[in-house]
Each structure stands twice: as C-alpha cells, then as structure tokens.
Amino acid sequence: MSVSRGLDSANAECVHQKNMASLMGKYKVIAAEKYGGGLTSKEEAERQFGAVMVTLASNAVSVGGNKTIVDPNYRVSCEPVLEQGEVVPRGQRHSNFYGFATERKVIAVLQVQDPRDEDPTPYYEFELVTVNGEYEMWYMSDGWLYQMQRVR
C-alpha cells in the first residue's frame, strides 16, 4: 500500500488545533514502507501489520518493545517543509525527505519527551497525517516508516 494514497489537502494546515486528548489511544500498524537501512527485515516489519505498536495515554507512552515513558510531556509542532536544495540535518528529517507525502506544506509532529530526561530532544516523534479523511500517525524506525490508525 502506497504511503501517498488519498493524502488530504488538509495536511496543508497543521493539526495543532486538534485536542491532545483526541490523540490518546492505541495505534495499530496498517502499512510499512522501507526508506533506509536498518536491521529490521521485511518479514519482521510485516509481522507488525494489525498489531498495536503505539499506546498514548496521559500517564504513559509505549512504543512496541521500546522504552515506556511514564508521565510524558506531549507537544504538537508544525514544521515547515524546507525548500528543495536546503540541507536537512539527519536528526530533523521527516518522511517527506525520503519521498513520502511530499505535497505537504506543513508537517505536524507529535513530540514525546521524558520529563526526567534533561536532553531537550524528543524521545519519540510521530507525524500526524490526514489520509482519506482519517488521521494516521506515522513513525519512522530502523529504516521503516510505519503507518498507524487509532484503534476505536
């Protein structure tokens, strides 16, 4: 399934107005696309399909088998898409850098920080994207872009 399927023009405006409480919940993987090198095989990535990968709650966030952050700080930032030719530092690259949903004018990013961590860099970052009228959360990990929908 292509990541650019049915991308809504609503992505031109950031979803920062969206109520944070409405983002809370469990997110299952609906698709995965390879974007770079990593140790995760195609078979391992595909085993995630249909499984809950991310759980966001006011008191904790968990991502697969990774670190669970207790009492996380959440923030939605609206990041402009850089012009072609601008240099993007490695830690600031989003999925559009790798050719996904390049028609967006703004990238909405949910940043998650551990309040006990003194490093100002978010521990997790998720892109918030509207596809066919539904919000998706995208997560880049180990060379894979995972697309997730909220479990209702």
Q: What are the sequence ranges of the domains in the chain?
A: 9-150
Query: Comparing C-alpha atoms, which of 106, 95, 99, 102 is closest to residue 137?
Result: 95
pLDDT higher than threshold 80 for residue 8: no
Answer whether 35's CB lies under 8 Å from 3's CB.
no
Give dist(CA 53, CA 66) in Å, integer. 10
Query: Comparing C-alpha atoms, which of 131, 152, 146 is closest to residue 29?
Result: 146
Q: SS3 breakdown of the chain: % helix, strand, coil, rounded to 5?
A: 15, 40, 45
Residues above pLDDT 70, as percent of the chain: 82
pLDDT score for 24: 94
User: Mean of the pLDDT values across residues 128-148?
Assistant: 91
Residue 53 token pair: 């990968």
pLDDT score for 142: 93
* Residue, of 56 and 1, whose pLDDT is higher: 56
* Residue, of 101 and 17, whose pLDDT is higher: 101
pLDDT score for 89: 62
Query: Which H/E stretch holds residue 43?
Result: helix 42-46
Query: Comparing C-alpha atoms, which of 24, 25, 68, 28 is closest to residue 52?
Result: 28
DSSP letters for 5-28: TTB-GGGGS-GGGS-GGGG-EEEE
Answer whether 139's CB lies under 8 Å from 107's CB.
no
* Residue, of 94 and 9, whose pLDDT is higher: 94
User: Mean of the pLDDT values across residues 126-150?
Assistant: 92
pTM: 0.84
- Considering only the C-alpha atoms of the chain, give the largest distance between any 2 of them, rounded to a whole number of Å: 41
User: Mean of the pLDDT values across residues 66-75?
Assistant: 93
* Residue, of 97 and 149, whose pLDDT is higher: 149
Answer whether 61's CB lies under 8 Å from 54's CB.
yes
Output the average pLDDT for the chain.
84
pLDDT score for 70: 96
Q: What's the gap between Cα 4 and its chain centre?
A: 15
User: Mean of the pLDDT values across residues 103-125?
Assistant: 90
pLDDT score for 135: 85
